Structure 1
């Protein structure tokens, strides 16, 4: 779906949620191969049994990537990603966990180029128990409506 949502149309507190996505062993293995991160916390089931979580955990970068993908439901033709800030992984995600994302418009500010504004989205990722597993801020560079 394509739309044109200009800076002025974003409302602080505006909220959207995504559908869920279950994290699988295949996700973890593919992500390890693509990223080169074969850290035992993700790949060695027997070693993980000796660790505090007792099972393999998904890569934080995998959870970030899946979460961003879940939020990509609409293409705004007058907006683009400007970056991500304050990324935190607050709980581990295990094989079989289902994550979903809640995005809240947290702030709006002018940009140094007057034809743009910065919209800050608070991105919160929850598991199936509604426990927060990841949080960050997504900055959008958004065109202002021509007057």
Structure 2
């Protein structure tokens, strides 16, 4: 769905949440193949039995990618991703875990070089099925201001 949501239409009270998505072994294998990250933490079940978590964990970059995709529910024609900051993986995600994403508007400010744009910072929080925070980051949107 295409929308036009200008800078002035965002609000610090805004929160949106996604439905759940279960992380599968196929997700992990595909991500390893796409990235070349075949570290044993993700691929070697026997080796993982000797480690603190006792089982394979999903790549952090997989969880980041899936979570960002889960939040993409519409295309804002007057905004684009400016970047991501403060990315943290706070707990491991295992095969069979179901993640959900909560997005809250954290900050809004003018763009110092482009007065016709503002920066909207979204706090992106990813939770597992137990309600535990497994990942968080800040997503910055470069958003057009409403034409005068």
TM-score in same-fold range (> 0.5)? yes
TM-score range, shorter chain: over 0.9
How many Å apart are 1:36 and its aligned residue? 0.2
Superposed, 1:48-59 pairs within 5 Å as 48-59=48-59
- The number of residues matched between the two structures is 147
Runs of 4 or more above 2 Å deviation: none
Partner of 2:10: 10
- Which whole-Å deviations, capped at 9, do the CAs of 1:111-142 have from their partners, x for residues lacking one? 02001000000000000001000000000000
Partner of 2:72: 72
How many Å apart are 1:38 and its aligned residue? 0.3
Separation in 2, partners of 1:145, 1:8 = 7
Query: What runs of 5+ residues in structure 2 fail to find an aligned partner?
Result: none
Superposed, 1:25-104 pairs within 5 Å as 25-104=25-104
Partner of 2:115: 114
TM-score (norm 2): 0.99
Q: Does 1:131 align with 2:132?
A: yes
Provide the secondary structure at the position in 2 that maps to 1:84: strand
TM-score (norm 1): 0.99
Separation in 1, partners of 2:51, 2:108 = 43
